[in-house]
Amino acid sequence: MTLEAILAYVHFLAILTMVVFISSEAALCRVEWLNAAAVERIAKVDMVYGISAIAVLATGLARTWWGMKGTAWYWTNPLLHVKLGLFIIVGVLSIFPTLTYFRWRKAVRSSGSLPDAADVKKTRKLVMIQAHLIALIPLVAVFLARGFGARG
């Protein structure tokens, strides 16, 4: 029971961290606010976002293995697969902004040039899509936790 509570706490903490940092990316990734310092900051924010996403996945998997309901209950429930699918989509979508931030940071460090407005807007759009998809995952999670989709 104690392990279940600790796993839940660490999972929720990782989720909250992920949400805070994707929100920070969305706030920083604006044409009118982007300067050299913001480019450096957004790359660091994205790194924390990525680390927290890995922590969300690791703690979520740990909960399925060592939690009270067990792997048989979780892995046969289609809602878990919906959650994972959404999470994977978010992860794939996050690749482009991450690579873009590295490119922006390299350009700022080498020549001082900032990204053009179209590139910033395209990147922000992907960040916003991620943020909105992340918001759907807890909806699926509450139904999963209450046994919807469980067999038997």
With contact defined as beta carbons under 8 Å apart, do 60 and 134 qualify? no
Identify the pLDDT of residue 152.
Answer: 62
Phi-psi region of 117 (alpha: psi -120 to 50; beta: other; left: phi over 0): alpha
pLDDT on residue 150: 82
pLDDT tens digits, residue range 57-95?
Answer: 999 999 999 988 889 999 999 999 999 999 999 999 999
The ranges of the chain with pLDDT < 50 are none
Give the position of tokens 């913001």: 38
Judge contact between 84 and 141, C-beta under 8 A. Answer: no
Give the C-alpha separation, 71 to 75, whole Å: 6
Longest distance between any two alpha carbons in the chain, whole Å: 63
For residues 146 and 5, give the distance between their C-alpha atoms in angstroms, rounded to a whole number. Answer: 17
User: How far apart are alpha carbons 141 and 41 in whole angstroms?
Assistant: 32
Model pLDDT, residue 151:
76
- The reported pLDDT for the residue numbered 68 is 85
